[in-house]
Amino acid sequence: MIAGIAILLLDQITKTFFGTRDFFVGSIHFHQAKNYGLPFGLNFNPGINAVVIGIAVFIIYYFCFKKKQENYIGLVLVGSGAFSNVLDRISLGYVRDFIDLGMGFTFNFADVAIIIGLFFLSFCKQLLRDKEQKNKHN
């Protein structure tokens, strides 16, 4: 729980700090960008809020009722990142992005946490499959 709050706070602080600045570090451009779509500036339809809220509800349900310890890190990363972006979406009507790699999309710390969390969730699932297969053969 503390890790999730720390990720949420770090995201909100970095969005506030970088939202008023415009500078480059090497080829990375730090500047505020208003994201009305999905992470990394992807935008598919106007019902995006319903999709984001649905994903957040699923994560909360999964975390509260499935309680699989091996998925804890991934769920905390995805859940706290999603919750921080939902806070922006509810309070501002958009998500504050600020990291621009020059590839046509911008992102923020919450997006990074979500992607890393999804990696952890996928990685843990694969490790469990490998372990089950190994146990079957022994």
Residues tagged active-site: 97, 111
Convert 30-57 to b/e letters by CB count within 10 Å (16 or more is b). bbbbebebbbbbeeeeeebeeebeebbe
In whole angstroms, give the CA distance from residue 123 to residue 85.
24
- Cα R_g (the chain), whole angstroms: 17
Contacts of 82 (CB under 8 A, 6+ apart): 52, 55, 56, 59, 110, 114
Closest by CA to 112, choosing from 80, 68, 71, 69, is: 80
In whole angstroms, give the CA distance from residue 38 to residue 52.
8
